[in-house]
Amino acid sequence: MEITVKNLKISESAAVKKVLGSGAVRRRLLDMGITPGAVITMIKTAPLGDPIEIKVRNYQLSIRKAEADLIIVEKGGGD
């Protein structure tokens, strides 16, 4: 089932299928290690919901919800 990172629940993991967007935003996400095949785990969200904290390639990363909406993942990719 394909969803975006924004829709993951706390402690839920999924594998990256593709990164949408273009230009600098897409390049930045790819440079941070969010590439197809990488496993992302939702760690937590800020008190007001933005940004969110995820774990990817053994490090924690905070991204905005707008950026998380550009990352298509498939549930079932676990740690």
pLDDT of 77: 43
Q: What residues contact 23, with CB distance under 8 A and at least 6 apart?
A: none
- pTM (2 d.p.): 0.85
pLDDT of 4: 94
Q: Which residues pair with 3 in a beta bridge?
A: 73
**pLDDT, tens digit, 9 for 90 and up, residues 10-62:** 999 999 999 998 899 999 999 999 999 999 999 999 988 889 999 999 999 99
What is the domain-level CATH number for residue 60?
Answer: 2.30.30.90
Domain around 13: 2-75
Q: How many domains does the chain have?
A: 1
